[in-house]
Structure 1
Amino acid sequence: MTDIDLSAYASDGGGSSHLSGYLARPDGEGPWPGVVVLHEVFGVDDEMRRHADHLAGLGYLALLPDLYSDGGPLRCVARTMRAVSTGHGRAFADIAAARSWLLARPECTGRIGVVGFCMGGGFAIAAAPEFDAAAPNYGLMPPDLAAAVRGTCPTVASYAARDRMLKGAATRLARALDAEGVPHDVKEYPAAGHSFMNTGPAGPRALRVLLRAMGTGPHPESAADAWRRIEAFFAEHLGTERGGDAHGEGAGSR
Structure 2
Amino acid sequence: MPSSLPDCWAVRNGSRDAQPLVSRVMPPGLVYHPADITAYDVTVSGYNGDPVPAYVARPAEGGTHPGLLLVHGIHGYEEHMKDMARRYAALGYAAIVPALYSRDGFLTVVEHSDLDLARDALNSRPNAQTVGDLQGGLDFLRASLHVNERIGLVGFCSGGRLGLVFASSRASGAGQVDVFVNFYSNGLFQPTAVNTTSPSEFAASLGCPMLALFGDDDTNPSPDDVARLREVLERSGKTFEFVSYPRAGHAFMSDTRESYRPEAAQMAWGRCLEWLSRYLKP
Q: TM-score range by the shorter chain?
A: 0.7 to 0.9
Instruction: Find the residue that maps to 1:237 and give its secondary structure.
Output: helix
Residue equivalent to 1:135: 181
Residue equivalent to 1:165: 220
Instruction: Find the residue that maps to 1:24 and give its secondary structure.
Output: strand
Contact between 1:197 and 1:219, CA under 8 Å: does it hold in 2? yes
Residue equivalent to 1:177: 233
Map 1:83-232; keep pairs closer than 5 Å.
83=125, 88-129=127-168, 130=174, 131-140=177-186, 141=188, 143=198, 145-168=200-223, 169-201=225-257, 217-232=259-274
Please tell me the root mean square deviation across aligned C-alpha atoms, in Å: 2.0
Contact between 1:22 and 1:49, CA under 8 Å: does it hold in 2? yes
Contact between 1:154 and 1:182, CA under 8 Å: does it hold in 2? yes
Shifted more, 70-79 versus 181-190: the winner is: 70-79
Q: TM-score, normalised by structure 1?
A: 0.79
Supply the AA of the counterpart residue of 2:274: A
Q: Distance in 1 between matches of 2:266 and 2:201?
A: 30
Instruction: Find the residue that maps to 1:149 and give its secondary structure.
Output: helix
Contact between 1:170 and 1:187, CA under 8 Å: does it hold in 2? no
Change (3 A) 1:150 1:109: same
Q: Distance in 2 between matches of 1:53 and 1:239?
A: 18
Q: Distance in 2 between matches of 1:53 and 1:21?
A: 13
Contact between 1:4 and 1:23, CA under 8 Å: does it hold in 2? yes
Residues 1:45 and 2:101 are matched in the alignment: no
Q: Distance in 2 between matches of 1:113 and 1:149?
A: 19
Superposed CA offset, 1:207-250 (max 9, x none): xxxxx5xxxx101111111111111111111226xxxxxxxxxx
Residue equivalent to 1:209: none
Greater CA radius of gyration, 1 or 2?
Answer: 2
More strand by share: 2
Change (3 A) 1:238 1:149: farther
Residue equivalent to 1:56: 89
Residues 1:69 and 2:97 are matched in the alignment: no
Residue equivalent to 2:65: 32
Q: Distance in 1 between matches of 2:202 and 2:251?
A: 26
Q: Distance in 2 between matches of 1:118 and 1:82?
A: 17
Instruction: Find the residue that maps to 1:218 and give its secondary structure.
Output: coil
Q: TM-score, normalised by structure 2?
A: 0.71
Superposed CA offset, 1:175-199 (max 9, x none): 3222222222211111111110011
Q: Give the drift of 1:144.
A: 5.1
Q: Distance in 2 between matches of 1:4 and 1:93?
A: 17
Q: Distance in 1 between matches of 2:182 and 2:83?
A: 17
Q: Distance in 2 between matches of 1:147 and 1:89?
A: 13
Instruction: Find the residue that maps to 1:186 and give its secondary structure.
Output: strand
Q: Distance in 2 between matches of 1:57 and 1:105?
A: 18
Shifted more, 166-175 versus 107-116: the winner is: 166-175
